[in-house]
Structure 1
Amino acid sequence: MPAKKTEFIRGIAGRGYGIIRRMGPSDAIFLIVTVVGVALFTWRTIDGTPYNPVLVLALRGTFLAFTVWYVLIGVRRRQLLSYFSEAIEKTPTAFAIYDERDRLVARNRAYELAHGSAFDHLREPIHYKDVVEAACPPTLPPAVQRREKDLSLYHHRHATGKPFDRLYSDGRWLRVIKARTASGANVGVGIDVTELYEAKAAADREHSRFRGLAETLPIGIWHFDSEGRTIFVNRDLLDLFDLSGQTDIANVAAPYFIAAHVEGFDPAQLNDDNNKLGNLAIRTRDGRTRHVIIRTSALPAEAPGLGETIMSFIDVTPLKEAERRIDYLAHRDMLTGARNRAAFAQAIETAADISTDDDPCWILSMDLDDFKPINDQFGHAVGDTLLKEVVNRIETIGSPDSFLYRLGGDEFCIMLMGLSRPQVEDVAIAILQAIDHPFQLGHNRICVAASIGIAAIPLDATDADSAQRYADLALYSVKKRPGGGGGYAFFTKELAERDLQERIMTLDLSRALAGNDFEFAFQPIFRRADRAVVAIEALLRWTNRRTGEMVPPARFIAAAERSGIISRIDHWVFARVAAYVSGLVTRGIAPPLTMINMSPLTLEEAGFIAGIDQILRKFPDIGGHLCIEITEGVMVDDRVRLRETFRKLGDRGIRTAIDDFGTGQTSVALLRDIPVGFIKIDRSYVAGLETDPQAMAIVATIVRLSRDLGIRVIGEGVETQEQLSALETAGCDLIQGYLWSRPIAAAEVEALLERADATDPPTATHPVSDRLP
């Protein structure tokens, strides 16, 4: 074959091969058949060889068949291309093809929407760089725009087929995959993953909300997986366990770490249905104890063995401390720190249950002798300090089986367990000696003594109330000794008999009140100058109906005070005296000032004034004719309350008097502050006027001081002419005593008043009370 022909054929073949490589199979076959046919005809023409009719017919038939086949294939291909184009257009996935020179040759609507309004401004031919420029938001800073454009071009040039996520200008996230075809075209697909990002954002928000809540809540939170690996802990949890950070527990199994640091926690408890693990204690590395309530929550598992657990630790340490504080306050005396009355009530009940004859519980009832004068002389602050020091001294003596209680004021009780009677006696002596040693309180050196009464459970009493009462009886027996206390005494059967008699007397007093068995005698009070009756004192008398005995007032009044019925008796007396005075007014007899003795305990009652008002409303005509008389001892008990009570009595026209003046601890300042109308000089001073110059000096001073303060003085217990003369010398103008009149019956009082009215008749402007000097 000539060289030119050969080279021509090779050139044609080479170009054809290159074209065929870029064709589809049907195009390639059709092209090959066409080329071969044309080549044969050309060859025969050039060669001059005549055509074989059969060959020509065969070639024509073949060419026609292939032409028809190719046309059919083209129709099918265009149909498939139409389907493909429609599918691409309808899919929400962005799709685009750029040729080897980065010209956009195909795209769908989703691709255009992803780029916002970029395609509204672009004209064909469109290059990828043009799309990037048009789609970049102009509101971004220049540096950000440049970075976004470079990143887009980088992914486009390096179309590796690996997916990457991009945020497009329409606000959607697309997961983009770009790949190069064999011809160099760039095919890009963008799957909308906006919902995935929104879900992730929502999850992130929930996670942030959870973390924020977990860090805000005042509880420790520990979140771990089925292997115990920590997923999350909050700051409170780290603080509870005294950890510096999550790295401290990064390589530990949470349940076993908790078990090692929380007393009473067992990892097996996590499998229980009960999600509350109770009140447990965490021991921190610095030795502190944190009390916690632990709750667990098992999260649903995606597969068996893949569950997660959230444990919450509620720190109740402040609550525990508050409970201990409340318990302390409930059972401790706030002033001294000793156990209080409530604690004593519980302890003595327990002691009554567990004590035996071989192992008794000893009850030591104790109070300080003459403590009230210390309060009055040095002030309550010093008195409080003294009580604290007394407690400190007693507690240094005590043993592990001894317990000190402050019942109130200067009243204490000591319980001793496991001691014999001689040992208890030694303890009592040691306590008395410790208290007897002077107390140095600031600049004040104070001496005080104590009295102790002792009873045993069950040797003396089997119940708590009786044991305490018997110890008190023993204490009272010490107080009644000459000198007024300072010692100890054990309970005896004689004291029990005395207590029984007093309780019987209390019942008799209650019956006497109900049966109106009390009677009155009246002792006149005279003006010394002319012996005129200016006042009378109502004296209560009682004959026990059961025994027929006339009981001395000092005996039954003391029993009434100890039993608590004295207030009923005092109000009964006030009502009966008010009725008597009102009766005098009704009969036209001018009543004198009538003095009524009342117990300090009655005046301290909250309803005292209300009871007085009720009686005054019943007898409105007795105003100005009554005077309430109290012993001096009450004056130093509660000055503020006493002043207010006296003021209210004065507002109601009721005068007040202090009986037995000079035997208590009343101060001049107190007489100045309290609105007192009368004081009665105690009979012990009056009795010594004849022989004791000091008594005379004291009485003269009292009279002179009282006159300066506007207080009237009554000499009480005057029995001799010498005493009367001494009182006259001292300047005392009012006299009461057997010298001029013993207590008399009501009828004799009326006769005495009628005789006095006949010689010095009272008038509306000069009533009997004006006879007082």
Structure 2
Amino acid sequence: MKPTVSLSLSGYDPHDGGRSEGARREERRREAHLRLLTEKMPAIVWSTDAELRFTSCLGAGLEGLGLAPHEHTCRSLFEYFTTDDAEFVPIAAHRRALMGETVHFEVEWNGRAFAAHVEPLRDAGGAVAGTIGVALDISDQRRAEERLLHVVRHDPLTGLANRAMFLDRLQRCLAASARGEGRLAVLLIDVDRFKAINAGLGLAAGDVVLCEIARRLGRCVTPRETLARFGEDGFAILIEGVGEAADAARLAGCLQRELLAPIALDGREIVATVSIGVALGTLAHGRPEDVLRDADTALRRAKALGRARCEVFDEEMHVREVALLALEMELRRALARQQFRVRYQPIVAIPTGSLVGFEALARWQHPARGLLLPADFIPAAEESGLILELDHWMLREACRQAQEWRHAAWDQPFGVNVNLAGKGLSQRDLVERVAETLRETEVNARSVCVEVTEGVLLEDAEAAGATLARLRALKLQVSIDDFGTGRSSLSHLHRLPVDTLKVDRSFIAELTRRRESVEIVRTIVQLGHGLGLRVVAEGVENAEQVGFLRHMGCDYAQGYFYSPPVAAETAQRMLALGRPLPA
């Protein structure tokens, strides 16, 4: 049998008749102390009879409900809670206590939260005569827990849901989708060129931009959709109950339209664009990371196609990703096994036809597919980051070869141009590695020219200019490749430390067919000369193009009209001759 639990706060006990007056006084004194303790304790203590009518109700916790002690004595729990629902948690707990159980429960009532304990109240014979309970007001604790949970599940900068909260909701949505309760979609959003904002304007400015982007994105989502910060410069949106890809694409369009207006920042105006990857949930997506993988694949596709656009994942992308992964593994082996080769394409002075240098171009001697051109492997190398190692190998090999030619007693001036990928330009140790290569090969730095594409310079002209200036301090030459294809390079050109402009081959190809191309090339030549720069035309294919270029005063040219890229041995024979070999 359970111990008897009884409570008397009235000062009278019908069983105390046989006690001495001294014992009764001591009992009353202890009971007064108990009453005082109960009344001052920040809790509510009560008892009921077997009909669940209050027989006592005390405690400082009553004040939080605007009640006075004993105010509800003789009233039933059903009256107090204004319900006849026997399954209502507090009433159900008391009914279980009348059956001999001890019950713990939490309940919210009148805007307050309570943690309660109820157990049987037994008479002297051990029979259940009612219930006795105690409740602690945990409202402050609950609010503190909610604040802590908010901190744990939200991004402190933007106030949006964080990655952990997003993944939790995505997991629940996937489970619901598997039960046939609707389809979901995930949008991964990446702020284009955000690192340039941080580098150029500072981290604080970058935070302001992120908060404004978050605010604008929030205007496009509904309560059924979850917007979260996802990574340093990214966001994610979870859409529940999506019908088809077009629904998600429409939301993506809204997001991009919201960002069309410039963001005002310390007297400047910044236009931030985003690239978006969309993936629809399918039965094949058993885990959150499966959906995120596909959305990320679509996002990378959007960035590869020029940024500021949305791409929806499809199986073709998956096949392409698998193929790229296999190609990346092959590239790693190729670097380790020295399967890459350097081919040298002559650069010729247009007025005289004499040889002035070479551009070093990479080729891959694939063991099964033969000699591969850059288009077959450079995109994969750039995406995987292997381009950094490949570029460094190319620079070292070209410098070594140039020095070998010098030792072969060709004293006439010539140069070797080497391409530098955009990722390489942002590497902190780039200049140190180049300097080390120059020392190792003992090449004359003035005979080496690094080529960077115009698009790379547009990523962050200020940072790129600083790096190029350090390269020029090593006595290297600097050339802007594919010039004329960028959107705003002219505004930066006069401030960039460069020596040569290389006119993009697309303009040269149209030189004899479109008057617009003639004027563009003429303008680039005049611009370069006006800034004291040399101008090289790429992709020259025929004598008619050479005639146009000569008439415009273009300095140099390269292309298949003069020679395709050749092996080092053939290039050495050209050096001996002083011009490309006859076709």
Please indicate, yes or no, whether the TM-score normalized by the shorter chain is above 0.5. yes
2:356, 2:414 within 8 Å by CA — same for their partners in 1? yes
1:730 aligned to 2:542?
Answer: no
For residues 125-164 of structure 1, what are the structure 2 equivalents within 5 Å? Answer: none
Deviations 1:580-621 (A, max 9, x none): 222223333347211111210122122222322332232233
Post-superposition offset of 1:644:
1.9
Post-superposition offset of 1:385:
8.0
User: Aligned pairs, how many?
Assistant: 460
1:628 matched to which residue of 2? 450
Post-superposition offset of 1:367:
5.0
Post-superposition offset of 1:500:
0.8
Post-superposition offset of 1:664:
1.2
1:576 matched to which residue of 2? 397
Q: Secondary structure at the match of 1:568?
A: helix
1:459 matched to which residue of 2? 283
1:470 aligned to 2:470?
Answer: no
1:712 matched to which residue of 2? 534
Cα separation, 2, equivalents of 1:255 and 1:438 = 53
TM-score (norm 2): 0.66
**Structure 1: runs of 5 or more not aligned:** 1-224, 231-251, 264-286, 290-314, 759-773
1:158 matched to which residue of 2? none
Aligned residue among 455, 466, 473 for 1:651:
473
Aligned residue among 663, 685, 692 for 2:514:
692
Q: Secondary structure at the match of 1:621?
A: coil
1:386, 1:439 within 8 Å by CA — same for their partners in 2? no
Structure 2: which amino acid aligns with 1:495?
Answer: M
Structure 2: which amino acid aligns with 1:711?
Answer: L
2:343, 2:360 within 8 Å by CA — same for their partners in 1? yes
2:222 matched to which residue of 1? 399
Cα separation, 2, equivalents of 1:676 and 1:586 = 29
Aligned residue among 661, 686, 694 for 2:483:
661
Aligned residue among 612, 634, 638 for 2:460:
638
Cα separation, 1, equivalents of 2:248 and 2:523 = 46
1:561 aligned to 2:382?
Answer: yes
Cα separation, 2, equivalents of 1:370 and 1:583 = 41
1:253 matched to which residue of 2? 40
2:469, 2:497 within 8 Å by CA — same for their partners in 1? yes
Aligned residue among 409, 417, 427 for 1:605:
427
Cα separation, 2, equivalents of 1:737 and 1:571 = 25
For residues 268-347 of structure 1, what are the structure 2 equivalents within 5 Å? Answer: 332=155, 334=157, 338-339=160-161
Deviations 1:265-324 (A, max 9, x none): xxxxxxxxxxxxxxxxxxxxxx999xxxxxxxxxxxxxxxxxxxxxxxxx999x999978
For residues 90-239 of structure 1, what are the structure 2 equivalents within 5 Å? Answer: none
Q: Secondary structure at the match of 1:624?
A: helix
Deviations 1:434-462 (A, max 9, x none): 53478444899999986643224553544
1:228, 1:254 within 8 Å by CA — same for their partners in 2? no
Cα separation, 2, equivalents of 1:663 and 1:626 = 24
Larger radius of gyration between Structure 1 and Structure 2: 1
Structure 1: which amino acid aligns with 2:226?
Answer: F
1:368, 1:411 within 8 Å by CA — same for their partners in 2? yes
1:505 matched to which residue of 2? 327
2:483, 2:501 within 8 Å by CA — same for their partners in 1? yes
For residues 583-602 of structure 1, what are the structure 2 equivalents within 5 Å? Answer: 583-590=404-411, 592-602=414-424
Aligned residue among 519, 534, 548 for 2:341:
519
1:386, 1:441 within 8 Å by CA — same for their partners in 2? no
1:533, 1:592 within 8 Å by CA — same for their partners in 2? yes
Cα separation, 2, equivalents of 1:393 and 1:259 = 45
1:678 aligned to 2:465?
Answer: no
Deviations 1:709-768 (A, max 9, x none): 22211111111222212222322111111111211111111111112299xxxxxxxxxx
Sort the Cα spacing of 1:409 and 1:255 in 2 relative to 1 into closer, same or farther, 3 A: closer
Cα separation, 1, equivalents of 2:495 and 2:167 = 39
1:413 matched to which residue of 2? 236
Post-superposition offset of 1:402:
2.1
Q: Secondary structure at the match of 1:718?
A: coil
1:369, 1:449 within 8 Å by CA — same for their partners in 2? yes
Deviations 1:530-586 (A, max 9, x none): 1111121001011332x4254431241111121222212111222222222222233
1:701 aligned to 2:523?
Answer: yes
1:753 aligned to 2:575?
Answer: yes
Cα separation, 2, equivalents of 1:600 and 1:755 = 35
1:393, 1:435 within 8 Å by CA — same for their partners in 2? no
Sort the Cα spacing of 1:353 and 1:384 in 2 relative to 1 into closer, same or farther, 3 A: same
2:454, 2:489 within 8 Å by CA — same for their partners in 1? no
Sort the Cα spacing of 1:357 and 1:490 in 2 relative to 1 into closer, same or farther, 3 A: farther
For residues 757-768 of structure 1, what are the structure 2 equivalents within 5 Å? Answer: none
Cα separation, 1, equivalents of 2:548 and 2:152 = 63
Structure 2: which amino acid aligns with 1:414?
Answer: I
Sort the Cα spacing of 1:343 and 1:316 in 2 relative to 1 into closer, same or farther, 3 A: closer
TM-score (norm 1): 0.51
For residues 17-36 of structure 1, what are the structure 2 equivalents within 5 Å? Answer: none
Cα separation, 2, equivalents of 1:427 and 1:721 = 53
Cα separation, 1, equivalents of 2:287 and 2:163 = 17
Sort the Cα spacing of 1:705 and 1:488 in 2 relative to 1 into closer, same or farther, 3 A: closer
1:542, 1:550 within 8 Å by CA — same for their partners in 2? yes
Deviations 1:189-226 (A, max 9, x none): xxxxxxxxxxxxxxxxxxxxxxxxxxxxxxxxxxxx96
Sort the Cα spacing of 1:586 and 1:364 in 2 relative to 1 into closer, same or farther, 3 A: same
Cα separation, 1, equivalents of 2:329 and 2:345 = 29
Higher alpha-carbon deviation: 742-751 or 432-441? 432-441
Q: Secondary structure at the match of 1:673?
A: coil
Post-superposition offset of 1:395:
2.2
Q: Secondary structure at the match of 1:539?
A: strand
Cα separation, 2, equivalents of 1:575 and 1:343 = 48
1:84 matched to which residue of 2? none
Post-superposition offset of 1:693:
2.3
Sort the Cα spacing of 1:355 and 1:442 in 2 relative to 1 into closer, same or farther, 3 A: closer
Aligned residue among 246, 249, 256 for 1:428:
249
**Structure 2: runs of 5 or more not aligned:** 1-31, 44-58, 66-110, 114-139
Cα separation, 2, equivalents of 1:618 and 1:516 = 19
Structure 2: which amino acid aligns with 1:655?
Answer: Q
Post-superposition offset of 1:338:
4.6
Sort the Cα spacing of 1:362 and 1:524 in 2 relative to 1 into closer, same or farther, 3 A: same
Cα separation, 2, equivalents of 1:341 and 1:405 = 7
Aligned residue among 527, 535, 541 for 2:357:
535
Task: Report percent identity of matched pairs.
Answer: 31
2:20 matched to which residue of 1? none
